[in-house]
């Protein structure tokens, strides 16, 4: 098995999830910790016995023994770092959102196209979880019949201290937005992925509860038409008393399902054999979670996504969530912002 050396760029709250996930894989070593605030990189390196520390990602990328990097910085810095890493011959796993505008999205993918030998993946760890994958499979098999509607309600709480802790948060220049591009984007990705892609939307975004704290949005609503003709709605807020509750529903002529966070809380199928299959697979998922309950990862999908990223490198294949598919949720978010500014329906890129 090929030994891999990996580096972490950005040593904030999500970095330990990447490090822990890498450390549980055979013949994978995290050898670099990089952050423009060197004290953060040094603290993470001490915690995880990482041998090399730097505030300059160029120094890290110049290491010929480094194979891959996880980009865990603020959204606005992603594009420049990803492009530099690909040009340096490194495989890249980039946290959401890939970047904050379409020109940067295009630039990143153009560089990847010049380096097809490199794996470039975007983090959407919920696509790796058992229940969303089950729903996706059932939708692709036609188990829901004709799907007429999908809905997403995304609730969380982010107070003033959260935004003041990091200067990039809640800014157009560095975060690229707030609620939609950071918190809700995880579930917007599942919404558009399960629905088979969004063709057009009309949205309104506003700052209702964080005036003077952020320059971006804390509330949003959108009407959506999917590529397959189904209709959908998105309602989101970062000012909810009920923190971190994300409800996604799928309605079809032969099936209905409600996904809350990562749990299927209600479902109905007209065909008994489909219902029985869902029950069996949900029980298997509950057993699997019980077996691995001792692991302390942030989000159950990160270990699976990083395992897939490493396997893709070793097997010379695309990852399950490529950068091209990870951009789809970003395109939806950017279309929401564009629609809110213009007051018109927006057609998404093909």
For 168-224, the pLDDT digits (tens) are: 999 999 999 999 999 999 999 999 999 999 999 999 999 999 999 999 999 999 999
pTM above 0.75, yes or no: yes
Name the band, by pLDDT with cuts 50, 70 and 90, for residue 287.
confident
Tens of pLDDT, residue by residue over 152-173, are 999 999 999 999 998 999 999 9
pLDDT digits (tens, 9 = 90+) for 114-162: 999 999 999 999 999 999 999 999 999 999 999 999 999 999 999 999 9
- Is 305 in contact with 125 (CB distance < 8 Å)? yes
Q: What is the pLDDT of residue 295?
A: 36
CA-to-CA distance for 115 and 265, rounded, in angstroms?
A: 43
In angstroms, the CA 342 to CA 211 distance is 22
Q: Say how many CA atoms lie within 13 Å of 54 toward its Cβ.
A: 14
pLDDT in tens, 14-72: 999 999 999 999 999 999 999 999 999 999 999 999 999 999 999 999 999 999 999 99
Q: Which domains does the chain have, with CATH numbers?
A: 4-125 (3.40.50.720), 127-295+325-347 (3.30.360.10)
**Do the bridges between strand 52-54 and strand 68-71 make them parallel or antiparallel, or are there none, so unpaired?**
unpaired
**Nearest alpha carbon to residue 190 among 97, 146, 128:** 128
């Amino acid at each position: 098995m090929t030994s891999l050396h990996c580096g972490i760029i950005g040593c904030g709250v999500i970095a330990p999830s990447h490090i822990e996930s890498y450390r549980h894989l055979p013949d994978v070593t995290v050898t670099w910790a990089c952050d423009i605030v060197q004290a953060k990189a040094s603290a993470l390196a001490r915690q995880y016995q990482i041998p090399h520390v730097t505030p300059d990602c160029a120094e890290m990328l110049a290491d010929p023994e480094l194979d891959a990097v996880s980009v865990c910085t603020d959204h606005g810095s992603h594009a420049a770092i990803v492009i530099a890493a690909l040009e340096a011959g490194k495989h890249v796993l980039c946290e959401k959102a890939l970047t904050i505008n379409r020109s940067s999205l295009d630039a990143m993918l153009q560089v990847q196209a010049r380096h097809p030998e490199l794996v470039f993946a975007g983090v959407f760890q919920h696509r790796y979880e058992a229940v969303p994958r089950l729903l996706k499979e059932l939708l692709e098999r036609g188990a829901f019949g004709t799907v007429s509607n999908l809905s997403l309600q995304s609730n969380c709480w982010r107070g003033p201290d959260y935004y003041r802790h990091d200067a990039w948060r809640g800014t157009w220049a560095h975060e690229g937005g707030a609620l939609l591009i950071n918190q809700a984007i995880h579930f917007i990705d599942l919404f558009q992925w399960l629905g088979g892609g969004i063709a057009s939307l009309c949205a309104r975004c506003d700052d209702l509860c964080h005036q003077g704290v952020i320059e971006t949005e804390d509330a949003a609503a959108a009407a959506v038409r999917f590529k397959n003709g189904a209709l959908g709605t998105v309602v989101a807020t970062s000012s909810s008393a009920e923190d971190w509750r994300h409800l996604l529903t799928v309605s079809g002529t032969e099936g209905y399902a409600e996904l809350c966070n990562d749990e299927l809380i209600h479902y109905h199928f007209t065909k008994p054999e489909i219902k029985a299959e869902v029950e069996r697979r949900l029980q298997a998922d509950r057993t699997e979670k019980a077996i691995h309950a001792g692991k302390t990862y942030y989000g159950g999908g990160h270990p699976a996504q990083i395992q897939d990223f490493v396997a893709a490198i070793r097997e010379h294949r695309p990852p399950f969530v490529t950068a091209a598919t990870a951009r789809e949720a970003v395109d939806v978010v950017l279309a929401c912002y564009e629609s809110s500014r213009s007051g018109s329906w927006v057609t998404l890129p093909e």
